[in-house]
Chains A and B, each alone.
Chain A
């Protein structure tokens, strides 16, 4: 239930952002982030909130296992 999924930020408006993974878009609040982020950055999104920034290569690596272990509907 407390899965964190690496997603790419596609738009930012204050602390409201939209993040995308595998073509699925989700709202992602930036309220809990303690570092600056920009469109194109990867973040781990958990329950609608970005909880940490990730670099892209690391995000892709983490995603590969998650795609195998979890059903797509669990992921985003």
Chain B
């Protein structure tokens, strides 16, 4: 295991693991915690943290990566956009290889579509300003960490008077799907490792309903192995005492109230809507759509797209992986038909996907 020879705080990690063992033994019951952040999933696999857990404590991965939870219907719309005349599609790199129903953005690019990878949505605004006779569609995918940056870009495009910058929005918000998962008796989740940077924006208080109404302990955790283990220990401590509260382990970046300014900008441009999640289906109020006031910047409100009926890749179990019902190892295609070089499903494509993490570090 990697941490044993390389991790600088080996003693700290071992100490935490020891305390976790004592706590779990004291609780006298098994417990299952879910992480819903792709970066946590990566850290848990990379450092072999599951190997440090006592037998009573099980960690499962949930819908942690925005690319993974974006359904094929969205990709099919994105592909329809890049086939429109005089259109440039701008996107974060991860979206490129995700297969849609019958094509992917990468295949479309090979066929001549103008698809550009950007680092920031503001770069897409710059492309729009440099190409006034063409339309630039930015693929807006992400949780509350990313959505404010897209909102900011729409405001920047409006200030610059751009009429050729549009967003195809599939933004999603976090606490709502966690509530849906908490309510699923088959999963029996005892607590959540809450996402780190999403919480920077929404704040710890956003998880209060999960703790108070759903009775699930929540701990917002950083990314170091010691952070994650300490988060698990805090969760186990709550379970052992029969409590359910929201605690912040990642105090260095998360405040109870979050980032108000970012949320204001988000609310100025977006309003909640129902959203379809890969694997989880449609969850009421879990998405963000662009307000009518900004319709001119919204693909859905201002362009007519022709999209073929969507279908999912044959045999891919991403839906069950994203719900935590199976691990990647339970998918018959894992590491045989579906590999990092030739991914079948979204969870293998994204750098933060659970199948990608399991493939890279878990075998």
Contact = CB atoms under 8 A, between A and B. Distances in A.
B260 A54 contact: no
B252 A1 contact: no
A1 B350 contact: yes
B262 A65 contact: no
Nearest to B2: A68
Given A2-B66, A47-B121, A66-B223, A32 B265 contact: yes
A47 B122 CA distance: 9
Range, interface on chain B: 35 or more
B123 A48 contact: yes
For chain B, what secondary structure do more than half of its interface residues adopt (helix, strand, loop), or is it mixed? helix
B224 interface: yes
Contact of A26 (B119, B259, B262): B119
Given A52-B259, A62-B223, A68-B46, A47 B351 contact: no
Contacts of B121: 47-48
Interface stretch (B53-61, B100-108, B139-147): B139-147
B265 A62 contact: no
B124 to A, nearest CB: 10
Interface in A37-60: 44, 46-49, 51-52, 54-55, 58
A34 B66 contact: no
Contacts of B222: 62
Range, interface on chain A: 20 to 34
Contacts of B223: 62, 65-66, 69
B66 A65 contact: no
Contacts of A61: 224, 252
B83 to A, nearest CB: 24
Interface of B: 6, 8, 38-39, 42-43, 46, 65-67, 92-95, 119-123, 141-143, 145-146, 148-149, 152, 155-156, 196-198, 200-201, 222-225, 252-253, 259-262, 265, 350-352
